[in-house]
Structure 1
Amino acid sequence: MARRKKIYEGKAKTLYEGPEPGTIVQYFKDDATAFNAEKKAVIEGKGVLNNLLSEYFMLGLTNIGVPNHFLKRLNMREQLVRSCEIVPLEVIVRNYAAGSMAKRLGIEEGTQLPRPIVEYCYKDDKLGDPLVTEEHIAAFGWASPQDMDDILSLALRVNDFLSGVMYGVGIKLVDFKIEIGRVYEGDFQRLIVADEISPDSCRLWDIETGQKLDKDVFRRDLGSLTDAYTEVAKRLGVMPKTSAPMGKPTLIN
């Protein structure tokens, strides 16, 4: 079978033309990066775990009526998604101070915020994905005021869903990042959740111990990243609780 045409390759995923018009095959890589790709490694099994977990979260969003690009999982590393025009913003929802916010504002990491805070970063690796305001977004035409209302609504709905799911398995949702896509149906435009939702794009802490179960394990050299992601998958029922740690899978095409 001929290999699909590559559309784009990012730090954690590769996109290929889908089998039908308007579809894309999203392939999850084992590559791990941090600090704007200054730190890099290949973590065996990470792509498989992120594929399974992103499928779980996207299906959950579909079930509560939050539109997203997920169509179906194809195999252990690939999923079929709807093609969309990505809004050039990273949408970050923070429930607790951590990471760059804690450093930027001098807040002790782990401090609960008075309410969820939504931040926006302009998607540009060369610039380090700088923090921007709605004034910047409107002035440069990245999204309209109506788009921003819809993006805020989507982000908060995703936060409500993820917070509840994680709390139910003893995990604190500290913060997360999503991307938003535009799809067109005739003259009508709709915004949907795109990219992925996984421990790569969330901060997840064990409620009882504070143990980190996200990419900070890699950023801060806190142990095995696949063990952390596997723990999340087991708690959510995505993997059997008795399964062995994820190693390099054998894929059959």
Structure 2
Amino acid sequence: MARRRLVYEGKAKILYEGPEPGTLVQYFKDDATAGNGEKHAVIEGKGVLNNRISEHIMSALNGIGVQTHFIRRINMREQLIRAVEMIPIEIVVRNVAAGSLSKRLGIEEGEPLPRPIIEFYLKDDKLGDPMVTEEHILAFNWATQQDVDDMISLALRVNDFLSGLFMGVGIKLVDFKIECGRIWEGDYQRVIVADEISPDSCRLWDARSGQKLDKDVFRRDLGNVTDAYAEVARRLGIMPEAGAKPATGPKLVH
């Protein structure tokens, strides 16, 4: 691999300077973290699966007019993406009570919510990504009112699409997280979906058994993460069968 300028390295991905102006190369690592980095492991093959699943979802979103930063997959671990000005807010959409919502409000995990609930979290590892309100976002100028409106609209459209996509393959979309960024088209600014959408950023349960097929497998020591992610990929038609080895790339851990 030719030497490339590293732009940013996070817990699960690395961004490199892209081959053309306004582009980046997004590399998916095998690292898995939980508890704001307190729990860490390297899980062979996880990055390959997240790259393929995120490619599949982002391409589908682009296809229905929900603009994302995804351009194309380069190889088993890398994507070519548009460079965007990231908004330092995580947008979480919840359809079913789980995780921190259940703990905060005392709602039994698995309880369907009366409507999708949108929450905002400030992206700051040192602070533990605290939950914030729209008032905080506007008061501290993390985003404009138009940005917030656009992020909410995008989140709800993504929720509608993902809920149908996953239910069609027997998976319940419990909740998910997206991040957004700004791009400019001439003098016009647009907010688009960025980062990734994968089992790392979604809670996915088997619609019948309730089996977890997401990062909670790692968080809660429920089994093999790559088996769970590979099952999601298999159902989406990305892999021929659960646990199958990709055509190229590292061997998955069983």
TM-score category, normalised to shorter length:
over 0.9
Does the aligned pair in 2 maintain the 1:230–1:245 contact within 8 Å? Answer: no
Q: Which amino acid aligns with 1:113?
A: L
Does the aligned pair in 2 maintain the 1:28–1:78 contact within 8 Å? Answer: yes
3-state SS of paired residue (2:2): coil
1:97 maps onto 2:97 in alignment: yes
Question: How many percent of aligned residue pairs carry the same amino acid?
Answer: 71
CA apart distance, 1:143: 1.1
Q: Which amino acid aligns with 1:197?
A: I
Can you list the C-alpha shifts for 1:194-229, whole angstroms capped at 9, x where unaligned? 000000000000011000000000000000000000
Q: Which amino acid aligns with 1:42?
A: V
Q: Which amino acid aligns with 2:31?
A: D
CA distance in 2, matches of 1:17, 1:150: 27
Can you list the C-alpha shifts for 1:140-172, whole angstroms capped at 9, x where unaligned? 111111111111100000000000000000000
> What TM-score do you get using the length of structure 1 for normalisation?
0.96
Change (3 A) 1:246 1:41: farther
Does the aligned pair in 2 maintain the 1:68–1:194 contact within 8 Å? Answer: yes
3-state SS of paired residue (2:221): coil
Can you list the C-alpha shifts for 1:74-99, whole angstroms capped at 9, x where unaligned? 00000000000000000000000100
Q: Which amino acid aligns with 1:153?
A: S
CA distance in 2, matches of 1:64, 1:163: 15
3-state SS of paired residue (2:75): coil
CA distance in 2, matches of 1:149, 1:242: 39
**Corresponding position of 1:172:** 172
Q: CA RMSD in A?
A: 1.5
**Corresponding position of 1:188:** 188
CA distance in 1, matches of 2:250, 2:111: 42
What are structure 2's unaligned runs of at least 5 residues? none
CA apart distance, 1:247: 11
CA distance in 2, matches of 1:43, 1:247: 18
CA distance in 2, matches of 1:248, 1:66: 30
CA apart distance, 1:250: 4.8
**Corresponding position of 2:119:** 119
Q: Which amino acid aligns with 2:228?
A: A
CA distance in 2, matches of 1:209, 1:78: 33
Q: Which amino acid aligns with 2:138?
A: A
Q: Which amino acid aligns with 2:20?
A: E
CA apart distance, 1:183: 0.4
Does the aligned pair in 1 maintain the 2:230–2:242 contact within 8 Å? Answer: no
List, as ranges, runs of 4+ consecutive aligned residues in structure 1 with deviation greater than 4 Å.
Answer: 245-248
3-state SS of paired residue (1:212): coil
1:232 maps onto 2:213 in alignment: no
- In the comparison of the two structures, how many residue pairs are matched? 251
**Corresponding position of 1:50:** 50
CA distance in 1, matches of 2:249, 2:39: 24
CA distance in 2, matches of 1:84, 1:65: 18
